[in-house]
């Protein structure tokens, strides 16, 4: 097997375990706070659940550009190993938390040492032949998205089978195994002497330089709005499923299944849409625009379903279009980024993912208090429709000319 394919295969699993570890607590976080950490007041539980879930993404948003700068200077594989081993330890420690503050601080520490995903994206994008980048980005991102969305299903299943604390131990062990596999099998062609000879600029200077490229500026904004729209309803899914299901029987499993079914269709569509994006100049931009509109449309029926199975069907259809979003953004970032700054560009994009992940659940929870759970789905649809207009105005207009530079 060619080395770029080995890298892609191993890092797919790494992406999956990293994102599953961050999202698996969604179905049982409030229950964990109640049964194991001693909270009793429903309002207090809801407040802590939102803060703890967002804490991981707050620190991730702040530090990702620093890790991107270091990856461009010392290599992407080093950042992979630093992040993978660190998160394996921290996630394991979450199982020993005895109060909400412990869990919050560990989630924030986990976000601080994260950086596996942007380093993996940068490594795969620079080691893959240009004519296969779209396929590689789609495949790699399907691992991250599958982890994000299948994480709640895994968490729900393990919560019913083992209780809450063992989930953290199991996830930490799996992440450790994935990182060890990366250490042994992943190869990177990185010239440290050449990288050391490049004048070092600060994180802010790097941001200014990349911000001067209009297409990158637009892509970062697209990433932020995509993640906000996707994550806004996620913490509310268990409550919505409870309302539709009307029973406590297998509630954690159903909530996890509804939250994760999107990942099944995403895993199928992302590589296919990525391969289509490799066909020629301007195709990726069109895939991004169509996928945004399709995802926006698929959010609307979720607000009007009357059963869990209808919600499952709508979210499965949503995943088909989600497969054309972040992977296409990653492929376009590679296209427009100057050589030697790939990791930095992907780290800024990862910061936008973290910011969207952080703001989405918090604002989604606030909005649901005003307009109900169904209103959050409508809000997400409107954001994605607006995002499609942004893409048409900035990338589709003259995108082919820019791509042919």
Rounded CA separation 93/163 (Å): 16
* Average of per-residue pLDDT values in the chain: 81
Supply the pLDDT for residue 86.
93
Supply the pLDDT for residue 243.
83
Mean of the pLDDT values across residues 79-108? Answer: 91
Residue 400: band (very low, low, confident or very high) from pLDDT cuts 50, 70, 90 = very low
Which is more confidently placed, 351 or 190? Answer: 351
* CB-CB contact of 326 with 226 (8 Å): yes
3-state secondary structure (DSSP) of residue 165: helix
Q: What is the pLDDT of residues 289-332, one digit of tens each?
A: 899 999 999 999 999 999 999 999 999 999 899 888 877 888 88
pLDDT exceeds 50 at position 121: yes
Supply the pLDDT for residue 267.
79
DSSP secondary structure code for residue 36 in this structure: T
Supply the pLDDT for residue 170.
85
Going by C-alpha positions, the residue among 9, 53, 2 that lies closest to residue 29 is 53
The rounded percent of the chain whose pLDDT value lies above 90 is 15
3-state secondary structure (DSSP) of residue 189: coil
Supply the pLDDT for residue 280.
66
Rounded CA separation 187/251 (Å): 43
Rounded CA separation 116/91 (Å): 14
Rounded CA separation 43/124 (Å): 44
Going by C-alpha positions, the residue among 53, 69, 63, 62 that lies closest to residue 122 is 69
Mean of the pLDDT values across residues 133-160? Answer: 78
Q: What predicted TM-score, i.e. pTM, was given to this entire model?
A: 0.72
């Amino acid at each position: 097997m060619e080395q770029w394919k080995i890298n892609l295969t191993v890092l797919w699993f790494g992406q999956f375990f990293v994102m599953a570890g961050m999202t698996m607590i969604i179905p049982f976080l409030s229950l964990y706070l109640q049964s194991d950490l001693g909270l009793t007041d429903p309002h207090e539980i809801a407040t802590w659940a939102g803060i703890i879930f967002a804490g991981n993404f707050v620190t991730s948003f702040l530090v990702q550009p620093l890790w991107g700068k270091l990856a461009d200077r010392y290599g992407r594989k080093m950042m992979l190993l630093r992040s993978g081993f660190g998160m394996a330890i921290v996630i394991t420690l979450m199982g020993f938390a005895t109060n909400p503050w412990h869990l919050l601080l560990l989630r924030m520490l986990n976000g601080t040492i994260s950086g596996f995903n942007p380093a993996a994206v940068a490594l795969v994008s620079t080691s893959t032949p240009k004519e296969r980048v779209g396929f590689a980005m789609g495949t790699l991102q399907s691992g991250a998205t599958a982890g994000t969305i299948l994480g709640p299903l895994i968490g729900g299943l393990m919560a019913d089978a083992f209780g809450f604390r063992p989930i953290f131990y199991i996830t930490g062990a799996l992440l450790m195994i994935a990182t060890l596999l990366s250490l042994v099998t992943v190869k990177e062609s990185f010239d440290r002497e050449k990288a050391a000879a490049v004048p070092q600029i600060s994180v802010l200077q790097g941001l200014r330089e990349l911000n001067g490229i209009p297409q990158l500026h637009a892509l970062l904004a697209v990433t932020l709005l995509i993640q906000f729209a996707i994550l806004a309803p996620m913490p509310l899914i268990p409550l919505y499923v409870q309302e539709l299901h009307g029973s406590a029987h297998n509630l954690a499993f159903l909530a996890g299944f509804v939250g994760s079914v999107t990942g099944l269709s995403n895993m199928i569509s992302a590589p296919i849409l990525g391969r289509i994006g490799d066909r020629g100049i301007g195709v990726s931009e069109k895939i991004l625009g169509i996928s945004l509109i399709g995802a926006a449309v698929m959010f609307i029926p979720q607000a009007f379903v009357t059963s869990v199975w209808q919600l499952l069907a709508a979210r499965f259809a949503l995943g088909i279009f989600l497969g054309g979003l972040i992977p296409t953004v990653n492929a376009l970032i590679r296209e427009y980024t100057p050589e030697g700054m790939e990791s930095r560009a992907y780290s800024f994009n990862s910061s936008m993912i973290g910011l969207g992940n952080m703001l989405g659940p918090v604002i989604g929870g606030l909005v649901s208090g005003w307009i109900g759970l169904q209103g959050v789905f409508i809000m997400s649809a409107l954001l994605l429709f607006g995002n499609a207009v942004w893409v048409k105005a900035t990338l589709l207009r003259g995108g082919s000319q820019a791509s042919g530079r």
